[in-house]
Structure 1
Amino acid sequence: MSEATINLWVKDDTGEMIFQVRPHTPLKQLMDTYCARTGRAHGGLGFLAHGAPCSPTRTPDALGLTDGDLIEVVPA
């Protein structure tokens, strides 16, 4: 049986978008998809969850993110 997904909001200076992710999938997948959708380079961005930087290797579960939580995208 497949793992349930959660919805995470990603907010930047232009607005918000929602991503459906699995709690145990590294955030790199979300970050890469965000960059592809927006045409922005990952190296120039920081991703924050609960105000703290997110490592691409961490998972939503490890960061305590739950359905509906927000990840902020800021200039690095």
Structure 2
Amino acid sequence: EAKPEPKAGSLEIKIKDQQENETFFKIKKHTKFGKVFDAYCDRQSLARNTVRFLFEGTRVQDNDTPESLDLEDGDMIQAMLEQVGG
């Protein structure tokens, strides 16, 4: 069964972690990713400063939006845990 098309101006993205777990978010094209990443870290019980988010290999900044990165419905962002210490 086909998924309904998202409303104009919004899209669904997924954030995938290193264990291949996917979390879906329906957001507006002008939503800043900082807000999405805060929600993701809350859901995953992760400290916000321990996770990097990448889209096609480039780090996504909190002020970026789906529109500024030219994201399309269904695009994926990778969540990478920072390596701490050493």
TM superposition score normalised by structure 1 = 0.91
| One of 29, 32, 40 as aligned partner of 1:34 | 40
- Where does the alignment leave 5 or more consecutive residues of structure 2 unmatched? 1-6
Aligned length in residues: 75
Q: Unpaired runs of 5+ in structure 1?
A: none
Matched-pair identity in %: 29
Across the aligned residues of Structure 1 and Structure 2, the Cα RMSD in angstroms comes to 1.5
3-state SS, counterpart of residue 35 of structure 1:
helix
Q: Deviations over 1:23-76 (max 9, x none)?
A: 111001110000110000110110001110000111011011110000000022
By how many angstroms is 1:3 displaced? 6.1
Which consecutive segments of 4 or more residues in structure 1 shift more than 4 A? none
Q: Tell me the SS of whatever aligns to 1:9.
A: strand
User: 1:1-76, aligned counterparts within 5 Å?
Assistant: 4-14=9-19, 15-76=21-82
